[in-house]
Amino acid sequence: MSKKPQHSVRVDLGDRSYDIIIGQNLLSRAADFMTPHLASKKVLIVTDETVGTLYRDKINLNGLDAAWVTVPVGEASKSFAQLQIVLDAMFTHGMERNDTIVALGGGIVGDLTGFAASVFKRGCRFIQIPTTLLAQVDSAVGGKTAINVPQGKNLVGAFYQPTLVLADMDALSTLPLRALKAGYAEILKYGLLGDAAFFAWLKDNGPAVIGGDKDAIAQAVKVSCETKARIVAGDERERGQRALLNLGHTFGHALEAEAGYSGDLLHGEAVSAGMEMAFDFSVALGLCHSRELDALRAHMKKTQLVGIKDVAPLLGKPDALLSHMDQDKKNENGAITLILARRIGEAFVQKNTIRETLSNYLKYLAVEYGGEPQGRISRS
């Protein structure tokens, strides 16, 4: 190969371990990276309409027997209907268990592709090539795959690990600022949940990450992936500490559901507001000092992330938000599980959250922020 990758992060899962390669100019060398991890030359590339237009002619698949399937852009592609289309393409291409399906796109494509791999003939190989910042630091790593159903997001899925992840910094150059900020929210999450030193680094370098500085992005992706790899290696199926990776997600998924999984609210935007809500709720419960919340809010303002005030139109129906939170996968025995914080860099799993207390908090938000169900979401 003509150029070594900048970083390599190992996800240590025994005989299912794999590497995350982080660097530039990876798509043009994709076949070189993928071939050592293939049991055959037959691959199916799953992408969406936008990514396919941008990268179909740029990804190097030399020497591979490759076919393509393209799904629509958007959350609606994480569905049984699109799963069937992907599976049909796999059968049409004559794929077997030892063949490989490749996700080329953001988190939606990755989740759909990974789930298809997990169920095709009881499991075939798959590779993640994430093209969004959010996917590179979160959804492409760790083996969570899923589709959505009317009852909620990601409720039908499987833990199924890829054999390789290629995170090309060059693919991020086509992302709009909004998508970069949505991905940055997941980067910020790693500092908030267990790495105060990383949060301090982000305070200085966050604007550069969002501004597209490839060296800053590569460092942020590396630290994020190292953190997630370490947590996943210790708790692959989320029976304990892996739940920390859901900081902001229980609130965030409720916001997404209330927004109808529309383009009005991206996943990273919902998580951003959800993390502020988690810290705010922790302060309200006396678990966290208000200065920690103030520090988070100051950084969110500096990096122009979506916060509670920006999602005010979704806060006007607290009972509906609580109902959405009832569907969260972390819940046990009918009780809601939340990820809360004692301080920046120290999150914890709060099981058996008192329902009345949570309900009162959501009602407080509706009053405090004047949520109007028919209003518009603000993205300053």
Q: Mind listing the pLDDT tens digit for each residue in 87-110? A: 999 999 999 999 999 999 999 999
- Contact, 171 vs 131, CB < 8 A? yes
- Does residue 374 surpass a pLDDT of 50? no
- Does residue 5 surpass a pLDDT of 80? no
- Contact, 351 vs 335, CB < 8 A? yes
- Does residue 158 surpass a pLDDT of 90? yes
List the strands of the sheet with 42-48, edge to edge: 7-11, 18-23, 164-168, 125-130, 100-105, 42-48, 65-71
- Does residue 375 surpass a pLDDT of 50? no
Pairing mode, strands 144-149 and 152-159: antiparallel
- Does residue 352 surpass a pLDDT of 60? yes
Q: Determine which helix (DSSP H) or strand (DSSP E) holds 338, and give its type and residue range.
A: strand 338-343
- Does residue 249 surpass a pLDDT of 60? yes
What pLDDT, on the 0 to 100 scale, is given for residue 2?
Answer: 44
Residue 61 gets which letter from DSSP? Answer: -
Q: Which numeric CATH code is attached to 7-174?
A: 3.40.50.1970
pTM: 0.92
What pLDDT, on the 0 to 100 scale, is given for residue 162?
Answer: 98
pLDDT band (50, 70, 90) for residue 49:
very high
Domain 180-368 = CATH 1.20.1090.10: yes
pLDDT band (50, 70, 90) for residue 371:
low
- For the chain, what is the mean pLDDT? 93
**What backbone torsions phi and psi does residue 185 show, to the nearest 5 degrees?**
-60, -40
- Does residue 3 surpass a pLDDT of 80? no
What pLDDT, on the 0 to 100 scale, is given for residue 334?
Answer: 77
Q: Which range among 1-15, 33-47, 252-266 shows the weakest confidence by mean pLDDT?
A: 1-15
The domain ranges of the chain are 7-174, 180-368
pLDDT in tens, 143-156: 999 999 888 889 89
- Does residue 319 surpass a pLDDT of 80? yes
pLDDT band (50, 70, 90) for residue 224:
very high
